[in-house]
Amino acid sequence: MARFANGKAPFLRKTDDLTYGTQVIMRDFLIGLIPLILFAWYKNGIKVYVEGNATLLEMFYPIIFIMLGGLISMVIEGLFFIITDKEVRTLKVMMKKLQLSYAMIPGILLAMILPLYTPIWVLIFGCIMATFVTKLLFGGFGYNIFNPALIGYVAIAFTLMGVINKAGGVLNGSEVLIDAIAGATPLSTLSTTNLLSYQTLVAPYGSLWNFFIGTIPGALAETSALACIISFVWLSARKVIKWFVPVIYIGTVFGLSWLIGIFNGQAGIWFPTFSILSGGLMFGAVFMATEPVTTPKNPLGKIVFALFLGVFTVLFRFIGQYPEGVATSIIFMNIFTMPIDKWTSVIRTQGVTKKTIIKIIILAILIIAIATYALIKANSIYSASIGLPLYIGGWN
Amino acid sequence: MKIFFKNYGLLMGLIAILIGIFAIGGIYSRYVTNQHAVLVAEAELSRLEAEQEAARVASYLALFAQGTKVEKYTSETVDKTYNLSGDRGEFSPSIIDSYHIYNGDVEIGVVYVVSSKGHEDGLNIAFAIDIATDTCIGVVVIANAETQTIYSTLTDTWFTQFENFQFDTLSIEIDAVAEATESSKGFEIGLLYAREVYAVEYGFEIPTTNITIVSMTYNYNPDTFANAVFIADVIHGEDNTAVSVYLSRTYDYVGIVGDGVTLTIDEQTVLKTIASASGLVSNKSWFVSYNVDTRVLVMNAKGFKSTPIVVTITLNATLDGIEGIPVITSSETYDENEYGDYAGGPAPEVEYNLINQYLDDGNIVVDGVADATITSNAMKQLIYLLDNFISTLTGDE
């Protein structure tokens, strides 16, 4: 039975209370990170230690690294407050401000999506880019345009990835001993070999079950689809995120990847499954694409946003410098959050009218065009191309 | 101070925390990275070794036309000692690795990787043996620490003698390359040892004959010493007949001394093998000729070069000493790898040095020249033979 509010409008929900609501959301958000953090510790610390490929000190490194990310972000934000706000002169005041701005979250998220062997100074650099440049310079919590952790990640990826690889890269102490893996993540294997075969992309890492569980090489805390799904269920149940955003995002990548597989002689479901379980797609879909500040507010906008994310992620995987595609597509779409919100609000409130039909058509054409271009780019990479008409192939 | 800390304490505290994270976290991060680097290096080494082992195994398998599978195993331990070439003592080879070779599930061969010794230790050779025919069908050299300029004289053609080498050959003998006798001997030792291990593991009977060397000495008889360098007292045949035989410098059978039952062909072959391996005599120097009228004795000594040193000696009229200084012709070179540190003059300085020591006091115990060991040893042996020859002429012996 529907519940109705009594009394005169406007009606405020409890969660509309800025302080209370945001605090609860952020608390639930942090709780949602716990499965991934624990899995990251298990996979890169405890398991490696038990297998005899790490010392006790190394075992604690993953969890300390993630915590340090949060601490560094807090310190940077604290320093910013002290310098810019004359009222912040005591620890108590500063802590209160830090608590309200959720200072630790960008650093924690950034540490989770970096490779295990990222030097601490690189993490500090990334935290400065995330917290100071992306968040604080734009006005602080609630005013940033881009996802802070992703900007930190991209800044590192474009400038210091060589340093990270030299320091050890993504392979933990056990993975480095597996001959078949040979220093590569599944997506980088796809990127370097351009071989669309199960034996090349999945077999070296065991099976797709390993992809689902997360025992494959990758960034510190983004490899486990299972942990992401647990967090997704928790965050959706707690209404911290809209469930359909990750579903549409991942579903779009799944569908397009399936088409790419079919066009290239791999009709099996393994390739789209591989595509959604590889890299940081699950993590990005659950924690980044749903971020309340930098993504559209209304549901239709979120749907459009997620659809674009899906097609851009597939496109960037085939035309980008890096094999991942998730971070760049989310940052790219952050730019269009406001116009999408505006257009979709009109469509949502006015429905399909003469005035809105053009907007709907434009959005649809854009999505289809980008998706088609992604398919063509993928098709140009794999020699087993069979499906596309010649005149489209000529666009390559 | 209090006001300063009140105004800037928090700022300084945060900066200190950031610096602390940078420093301590950096040390921690560096420690983890270093540990990982060690692990990666070990993994790389392990990978490299695995690749090398895989390549080796593939090369073993390639020797067997019907081979489809290789299986590593631990072979029996067989204690066996062999004489090295050039009076360098004895050596006990060992098995490093051993592999069964299968065609499907049927074993068709075995590969023994033997650690032998040529000029240096570490001459590791894989001998592939066909168990149906008891034949060595080929070798693969895994590693060697030989002098490469010398080792390179062992050509592909030379290695073909290991292909289809029947193990039931009465006496295994590998044709040595003149410039690389020590390396050649190392291969022969390896093959002999592989046959011993094969015999133990596969019940193969090493062919033999009943012949034993009682003693061996040098032949000082000018009438025969040119071709019959050694005299060996042997017991042979089913009734253990004792007989003295002449052997050439390369231990080939020459004939019977005096009267007696001659040796069979098999006995001659085995005698050559056991004589060369016995270490009872040295073939580093030998008599070439002696002219009774002119009292000129010509002797050879085998130093480092394949061309022997020629020493021409004129005995005095009473045949109990040497007249004048011997004439020495030598093509020895002391700047070879063997003599890398030799600091003296060119040949035949070393040869004259040693023989002059003998002429000075008539003592056969002479000092070798540093860093010219092989030439020195050859000349010492020559002096020993010369002294004995003179003693024989004067009837002292």
The string of pLDDT tens digits covering residues A237-255 is 998 999 999 999 999 999 9
The reply to whether B41 touches chain A by the CB within 8 Å rule is: no
Q: Does A76 touch chain B (CB under 8 A)?
A: yes
Three-class SS state of A189: helix
Mean pLDDT of B332-350: 73
Residue B30: inside a domain:
no
Residue A392 pLDDT: 38
Task: State which H helix or E strand residue A391 sits in.
Answer: helix A390-393
CB contact under 8 A, A120 and B25: yes
B129 with B144, same domain: the answer is yes
Q: Is the pLDDT of residue A343 over 70?
A: yes
Domain of residue B261: give its range: 211-278
Among the ranges given (A30-44, A121-135, A235-249, B253-267), the one the predictor scored with the smallest mean pLDDT: B253-267
pLDDT at A134: 95
Enclosing H/E stretch for A188 = helix A186-193
Query: Do B36 and A82 make contact, defined as CB atoms within 8 angstroms?
Result: no
Please give the span between the terminal C-alpha atoms of chain B, in angstroms, as a whole number. Answer: 109
Residue A312: pLDDT above 70? Answer: yes
Q: Is residue B16 part of a domain?
A: no
Beta-strand pair B241-247/B230-236: antiparallel
Closest Cα partner for B18 from A141, A78, A119? A78
> What whole-number distance in Å separates Cα of residue B100 and Cα of residue B75?
10
Maximum C-alpha span of chain B: 123
Say whether both B367 and B289 belong to one domain: yes
Using DSSP, state whether A59 is helix, strand or coil: helix
Which pLDDT does position A369 carry in this prediction? 84
- Over residues A222-240, the mean pLDDT reads 94
Is B45 a domain residue? no
pLDDT of residue B376 exceeding 70: yes
Establish if B5 belongs to a structural domain. no
Is there a domain that residue B17 lies in? no
- Could you state, in order of their start, the residue ranges of all structural domains in chain A? 14-170, 179-217+241-396
Q: Does the structure show a pLDDT above 60 at A221?
A: yes
Q: How many helices (H) and strands (E) does chain A have?
A: 20, 0
Question: Is the CB of residue B26 less than 8 Å away from at least one CB of chain A?
Answer: yes
The answer to whether residue A7 scores a pLDDT higher than 70 is no
Residue B6 has pLDDT above 80, yes or no: no
Please check whether residue B33 lies inside any domain of the structure.
no
Query: Which comes out higher in pLDDT, residue A201 or A394?
Result: A201
pLDDT attached to residue A384: 39
Confirm or reject contact between B35 and chain A (CB < 8 A): yes
Residue of B nearest to A120 (CA): B26
Q: Is residue B221 part of a domain?
A: yes
**Per the structure, how many domains does chain B have?**
3
Select the more confidently predicted residue: A92 or B208.
A92
Taking each helix axis from N to C terminus, what angle separates A56-84 and A91-101, rounded to the nearest 10 degrees? Answer: 100
Say if residue B230 is in the same domain as residue B306: no
**Angstrom distance (rounded) from CA B184 to CA B118:** 7
Q: How far A306 CA lies from chain B's nearest CA (Å)?
A: 37
Q: Residues B87, B184: one domain?
A: yes
Q: Report the C-alpha gap between B396 and B383 in whole angstroms.
A: 17
Which chain A residues contact residue B16 at CB under 8 A?
Answer: none
Could you give the C-alpha distances from B350 to A19, B158, B179, B388, in angstroms and in order? Answer: 102, 33, 20, 22
Q: What is the mean pLDDT of residues A305-325?
A: 84
Q: 3-class SS at B9?
A: helix
**pLDDT tens digits for A348-359?**
888 778 777 887
Nearest to B32 among A58, A75, A121 (CB): A58
